[in-house]
Amino acid sequence: MDDVPDDDQKVLDYNAWLFWERADESRQQAQRARQEAIGRQCGATLGPRTFISELAMVSPTALTLGANSYIAAHAYVTGTVRAGDDCTLNAYSVVRGTVTLGNGVRIGAHTSILGFNHSFAPDRPVFRQAGTERGIAIGDDVWIGSNAVIVDGVTIGSHAVIGAGSVVTKDVPDWAVVAGNPARVIRDRRTPKATSAGDRGRGPARRLAELAARAGDQAPALIARCWEPDAPAPDGTTAGRYLDAPGAAPTLRAHADAVEISVLLHASAPEQLPAAEHIRRLRQNQDPGTGLVPPLDDTGRHGAAPTGYEQSDTHYHILSLGYALDLLGSRFAHPITAVARMTPQDIVATLEGQPWRHAGWAAGAGVDTLGTALMWNLKYRPEDRAAALTQYHTLFGWLHTNCRPESGMWTGGRPADGMLQAVNGYYRAARGTFAQFGLPVPHPEQAVDTVLRHAADERHFGPGRTTACNVLDVAQPLWLLSRQTGHRQADIRQWADAQLGTLTEQWVDGEGFPFCLPPLSGPARPAHRPGLQGTEMWLATLWYIADLLGIAESLGYRPQGVHRPEPAFDLRG
């Protein structure tokens, strides 16, 4: 839609997703006034970056619209309508009666969702008969094609797809793809459609679906394999701890990885502890003075209190433990004070002090931690919003100013390892900033060229050399950049397709994925053997690769923690 002229108001009414990016201040003020008027009319609750077209007929009894949701031109909305985040009512759609939408419900044009009905006994005209209203409930992540009709009393499960033109008269289960009049289930969304009579889906999509099913079935066992029930926990007062793999040194990240895997594949905390105890153990690792989380010492106990942000061995815990707590519906017990107290000058000094010239990955990791710590502070401490936004403006200003226009990177290449440090550092820096907040990266086409050039460097990819880190650091940037540009899409798909044949064969039953793919001679060191870190990272990486090929739905999961594709926080909301 980049070629759509902005001077025609109707463009933004029909293409509502463009409104807050393209509308001038007068249009934005008019939209705020419209939302305030609707709020006065029915006590509406409207989340950030919602949009209600002036051309839409919106006269509800009660209305809730979550963040980033919109009602486009000529939609007709009445009754009690409650919609979650990222919901879309496209042009000419009708939503009336009692209708509840989860998060991520996408409603195609000319669709009717009618949460009420008429009686039609033969004793009097229909228009004189009493109405009924059982209501319609629609789960999360549902796609409703254009011209569909959904009648009163229907419940549609999460992740379902309603084919264009369908008439839905009965409940639809989770993950179902339905079509027809009346609509019927034609397949499970997690089971890829066969491409021909001779190929019953035995291609990449089928392999992904089969792998995801195995991973889901085996997740409890592979997590239990890494649990030491009798070993002392880091606080020394309780028993039980997670290791990355049997025999590995105890780490806090292992606990976070166990939570990520369990929530990803089973939407629940690992079964070794009640959810509340997982939360307690993760929260009590934080140093209240700095808000940082020290690594464990040689005995597996809590290490000494961190000295400050400059202590890099505390950094990844801000990501891993922070997101594990977030997945469990909790958060850190204390603000990340070591970052909250930074002035803009401190942030610039911190960025300038990163080892960009010789260690791009370490520099990018420092930025990732800085951006994530600022995010947790802003998300959970709204009273400090003004100061935090000043810090963000400084951070993003520096990153934009110092990004190299010829490569899209913040670090140059080296003869010793090519673009390894540059690309790995790019992933970490962009993940914690641009990706985490849904902002466009600078110089996207040049970045695509650089990442693909690195992906062809055989020094870092092949048996015994390919690591989850190196492939994720290619897959996620290509996915992120593809949201901004169509540059070299054929090359990106070719790279992604080449990964699947190898990666889907690396799963070890009951144990998961190794962090580093073993050489042809077999595992030779600990990184070649399956563990929680390798399993968590490869599951996320496979999702990005699959989505580059348009077959991510075959996996039946979507990363939600450290490696989530959606922004974690909207700075503009």
296 by DSSP, 3-state: which? strand
Q: What's the confidence (pLDDT) of residue 1?
A: 40
- H or E element in which residue 137 lies: strand 136-138
pLDDT higher for 340 or 381?
A: 340
* pTM, two decimal places: 0.68
List the domains of the chain with CATH numbers.
Answer: 9-120+129-188 (2.160.10.10), 208-225+444-565 (no CATH), 226-334 (no CATH), 339-417+425-442 (no CATH)
Q: CA-to-CA distance for 286 and 294, rounded, in angstroms?
A: 7
The C-alpha atoms of residue 94 and residue 78 are separated, in whole angstroms, by 9
Average pLDDT value for residue range 13-17: 85
Annotated active-site residue 118? The verdict is: yes
Question: Would you place residue 132 in the very low, low, confident or very high pLDDT band (cuts 50, 70, 90)?
Answer: confident
Tokens found for residue 125: 């005209």
Per-residue model confidence (pLDDT) at position 180: 87
Query: What are the distances in angstroms from CA 296 to CA 49, 521, 523, 533?
Result: 42, 34, 27, 17
pLDDT attached to residue 5 = 47
Residue 8 burial (10 A CB sphere; 0-12, 13-18, 19+)? exposed
Which of these is catalytic: 74, 110, 118, 460?
118
**Residue 527 gets which letter from DSSP?**
G
pLDDT in tens, 239-272: 999 999 999 999 999 999 999 999 999 999 999 9
Give the span between the Cα atoms of 541 and 563, in whole angstroms.
8
Mean residue pLDDT of the chain comes to 90
* Helix residue spans in 240-340 (DSSP H): 252-266, 275-283, 315-327, 337-340
Q: To the nearest whole percent, how much of the chain has pLDDT over 70?
A: 95
Q: How many helices (H) does the chain have, and how many strands (E)?
A: 16, 21
Residue 9 banded pLDDT, cuts 50, 70, 90 = low
Average pLDDT over residues 520-531: 83
pLDDT greater than 90 at residue 380: no
Q: How confident is the model at residue 17 (pLDDT cuts 50, 70, 90)?
A: confident
pLDDT score recorded for residue 57 = 95
CA distance 443 to 452: 15
Confidence category of residue 572, pLDDT binned at 50, 70, 90:
low
| Predicted confidence (pLDDT) at residue 200 exceeds the cutoff of 70 | no
Percent of residues in the chain assigned helix, strand, coil, to nearest 5: 40, 15, 45
**End-to-end Cα, the chain, rounded Å:** 23
* Residue 359, SS3 per DSSP: coil
